[in-house]
Each structure stands twice: as C-alpha cells, then as structure tokens.
Amino acid sequence: MINNFQNLLNDLSQMGKHGICLAFSGGIDSSLLLYLCKDLNITAVTFKSVFQTDEEIQETIDFCRNYDIKHKIIEFYPLENEILCNNPKDRCYHCKKLFFSKLKDFAKENNPVSQLTAGLLPPSGCSNNSKYIIDGTNYDDTQTYRPGLKAIKELDIISPYIKHKITKKQIREYAKELGLKIFNKPSTPCIATRFPYNTKLTEENILKVKKGENILKKFGFISCRLRYHDNTARIEIEKTEFQNFMNKHEDIISELKKIGFNYITLDLEGLRSGSMDIGIQ
C-alpha cells in the first residue's frame, strides 16, 4: 500500500506543476485526494444539484476553507435533462457525461488548467487531452456496476486511484494515518441511487427521500439508505443496528408516515451498496 500511495503522490506532484482540477464531492475518496494536493496548484470543483444534500455541499465548503484550497461550486440541473429524469439503467453514464463536460469547459476557461504549456508531456499513464482533470473514483469501483466509468474514460478524466489500484479500504486507512477526521465518513452516493431504475425522478420525491433519511439520522442511524418504492420506504441500516431500530421503530414509522410513506420496511440484508443494481449484468 505504501508504494501505491508513493507513486500516487509522485504523479500528483508532477501534475501540480501545471495545474490540477479536481471533481470534489466531499466523500472520503475525493477528500483524501484533495488533501494530498492541498499544497499544489489545484482547484476543487463541486457540482451542486438536487442529487446532493445541503449538508454535503457545506462540507465541501468547510473542507476547502479549512485547508485554504481554491473552490468553485457549479450549479447543475439534472432534472432539466429528460434522460436523467427517466432514470434509465445507465443514468450515471449520462449524468457524469454532462457534469464532467461542464468541468472540462470550466477547466479550459479558468486557471490553472487552461494555462498548460503547449508540448509538455503529462506524467506516465495520464492523458494529455484531460489537462489534469482528476476525480476520486477508486479501484473497487471498477469491480461493480458503474456505468459512469464509461463517461470518465470517454472524456479522458484521470482517476489516480484506479491507475494505482488503490481501494476504498486503503483510502480510509491512509486517511486515518494522516489524521483526517473524516477517515470513517459513511459513503454518500448520489440520491438518485435510492430510486429503482426507470422510475421517474421528481424534485418532490427526491425531497421526500432526503427528509426520510434525515429522520433516520435524527434517530441515530447515520449510515443509512431510504430506498423509494412508490409509497413504500425500504430502509437499509447496518445489521448491528437492527435491535436499536426495533426499539425506536414506532416513532420512526410515525414520522415517515407524516411525510407520505404508507408502508415502512426494514431490509433484512442490511446496508449495502448497489441494492438497486441487482440483476443487472
């Protein structure tokens, strides 16, 4: 693992001489990457949309402010796109294609990326066309259903963790070693992942899911997902929290019904990534 991160740091150092633009979501993956680049010539870019919570956006602001990192927030309106509204199985591909295209436009128009010296070669394994636009996709993401990876490849976005085969577990371990307080921060995937594919995405239903997850967090279930199935809420929490949930279930049910869910279920398989991807090859 040490060699992987040393090679990563060497690459970032070379890119930093010319300028880096990082897609910064505030999750542990992009946060560690940004921390490693904090003393380099870097701009963090965060996309703000209905697919993120206000808390997530504020966390990106706080992180960049804490380390005095240049930060740009770009408004993104996914529900104006008909394909994204219809939530097809490759929604993530279309979404990433849109916002990474916007990120490339930003990079061309703003320092540091737009002033790459003509003719300079990028570090080994990095694409010159990408002009050092990077993201925090980790090596584990290549082993699961991630249609967004296709968009990243098509647009020549650099994913340093993938290049150096760095996993989520290694990212958390290294972040802890460096003293980052968010080393064990729960994953916060896009809110669209709470909906079955081919379910119409509306601002009203997205807000309903956000409110539902806030209710769960209020009762102490920080790592949670509320999966939307029309008027049914399917709750995913850690299996170790099942008994705690049952102790509070009457109050939880009451509050979830107040926001419009008629049926409340607890998924016995517990919290897991990609439960809406079952059956997809």
CATH of the domain at 71: 3.40.50.620
Domain assignment present for residue 183? The answer is no
Same structural domain for residues 173 and 197? no
Rounded CA-CA distance 200/219 in Å is 29
CB 255 within 8 A of CB 120: no
Same structural domain for residues 165 and 210? no
Same structural domain for residues 131 and 242? no
Output the domain CATH number for residue 264.
3.30.70
Query: What does the buried/exposed string (b/e) look like for 69-99 if buried means 16 or more CB atoms within 10 Å of the residue's CB?
Result: bebeeeebebeeeeebeebeebbbbbbbbbb
Same structural domain for residues 135 and 28? yes
Q: What is the pLDDT of residue 2?
A: 66
Domain assignment present for residue 184? The answer is no
Tally the C-alpha atoms within 13 A of residue 59's C-alpha that lie toward its C-beta. Answer: 16
Same structural domain for residues 94 and 217? no
| Residue of 44, 42, 40 lying closest to 57 (CA atoms) | 44
Rounded alpha-carbon distances, angstroms, from residue 151 to 88, 177, 252, 258, 268: 15, 32, 39, 39, 34
Rounded CA-CA distance 26/56 in Å is 7
Residues in the chain predicted with pLDDT less than 70, given as ranges, are: 1-2, 111-131, 281
Instruction: Please report the beta strands in the chain, taking only residues with DSSP state E, as ranges in sequence order.
Output: 20-23, 42-48, 70-75, 133-134, 224-229, 232-237, 263-266
Radius of gyration of the chain (CA): 20
Same structural domain for residues 77 and 152? yes
Domain assignment present for residue 221? The answer is yes
Rounded CA-CA distance 110/71 in Å is 12
Domain assignment present for residue 219? The answer is yes
Same structural domain for residues 124 and 239? no
Q: What is the pLDDT of residue 216?
A: 98
Q: What is the pLDDT of residue 116?
A: 40
User: Which of the 8 DSSP states describes residue 232?
Assistant: E
Domain assignment present for residue 186? The answer is no
Domain assignment present for residue 254? The answer is yes
CB 76 within 8 A of CB 99: yes
Domain boundary among 151, 178, 205: 178
Same structural domain for residues 58 and 102? yes
pTM of the model: 0.89
Same structural domain for residues 159 and 231? no
Domain assignment present for residue 228? The answer is yes
Rounded CA-CA distance 226/260 in Å is 13
Q: What is the pLDDT of residue 82?
A: 96
Q: Mean pLDDT, the chain, as a whole number?
A: 91
Same structural domain for residues 139 and 173? yes
Place of tokens 């010319």: 18
Q: What is the pLDDT of residue 172?
A: 97
| Number of structural domains found in the chain | 2
- What residues make up the domain containing 198? 191-277
Same structural domain for residues 123 and 244? no
Rounded CA-CA distance 184/188 in Å is 12
Same structural domain for residues 243 and 205? yes
Give 175-221 pLDDT, tens digit per residue: 999 999 999 999 889 999 999 999 999 999 999 999 999 999 999 99
Rounded CA-CA distance 192/95 in Å is 10
CB 27 within 8 A of CB 185: yes
Number of H helices, E strands in the chain: 10, 7
Domain boundary among 143, 178, 213: 178
Domain boundary among 111, 143, 178: 178
Domain assignment present for residue 49? The answer is yes
